[in-house]
Amino acid sequence: MLVRAEHVLRESHGDLLISRYRAKQAEGIALVRSNRENGKQSLAFASRPFILCGLPIRKPPPDQLLFERRNGNFLLQITGHPHFGLPFGQDRLILIFLATLAVRQKSQVVRFRSAAELLDTFGMAKGGKEYRRIIAAFERIFGATMFFTTDRSSATSSVLHRSRFNFLREAEIWYSRPESVPDNGNSITLSAEFYAELTAHPIPTDLEAIKIFAAAPGLLDLFLWLSYRCYISKGPEYIPLFGPSGLTKQLGCIEYSRPSKFRATLEKWLQSIRSLWPQCPARICTNGNFLRIDRQIVLAPSPH
């Protein structure tokens, strides 16, 4: 596996001195490719609003409690709690974790052994710093309110759908789990609206790929967005990079002062995605103003 991993790494990053981190990352890339070829991918699930529009990538200023993203006729607004602020960065992993449990357990009340299970799910280190980060992330998510609206119009009619809800209704989480706590003693009750959205639109994605991109929220957003958009695409599409309906308004990106900086970042992200998804059809157009995508399925059907 390591020989193949090193080959994948050099293929995508050139001749580099391979650190332990890079070798582990390359092994993950090789595993994603192998699982896809053999139809043995491990699935996670994400919620549609956060595929179409990403959470903030970086921590917003303390006085910013409203975050807005727009994707065509889809508008997402997140209002943060005055004490805890807006969800951001790796907080999105918690939403993926909860969505995955809800889909697997087929229940609005999800149960798990410990907070360490979340870290294990995404291949993250465990320690005091990580547990404190989980606590803060759950507080931000529990205190946040989501509003989203879609406007579906045709030549004969127009349908406007709006929804406002919290993510979670109730949570009991043992961050430092004593032996007396029973298995699956941690439980979280999703709000009825959030669970209904997950039930209606469970978006499957590759869990091993999420592990690779877990530490890079912007890159993870783009991977999830591309996986979904390429799957539902009926043919070539051209997504503007800038402007009111541009890609920068859809992902959780900060506002870039120069378009060239975003293009460079986007190309770097695309290279990372191609390392584990070589058939990814996304390309920045020669004029630098659009991202061209096409229909492509990143999740291979199982041969069994």
Instruction: Divide the 304 residues of the chain into consecutive groups of 10 and give the mean pLDDT of each group.
Output: 51 54 77 83 90 90 92 89 95 95 96 85 85 90 89 54 82 62 76 91 93 93 94 94 88 74 94 93 95 86 41
- Give me 59's structure tokens: 């921590």
Question: Do residues 28 and 45 share a domain?
Answer: no
- Is 130 domain-assigned? yes
- Give me 131's structure tokens: 């547990």
- Is 288 domain-assigned? yes
Report pLDDT for 171: 85
37 in helix, strand or coil?
helix
Distances (CA, A) of 154 to 158, 224, 276: 6, 28, 39
- Is 7 domain-assigned? yes
Report pLDDT for 150: 78
- Is 299 domain-assigned? no
Question: Do residues 89 and 233 share a domain?
Answer: yes
Looking at the chain, which runs of residues are DSSP E strands?
43-47, 66-71, 74-79, 109-112, 145-153, 158-166, 168-172, 186-190, 202-206, 237-240, 283-284, 290-293
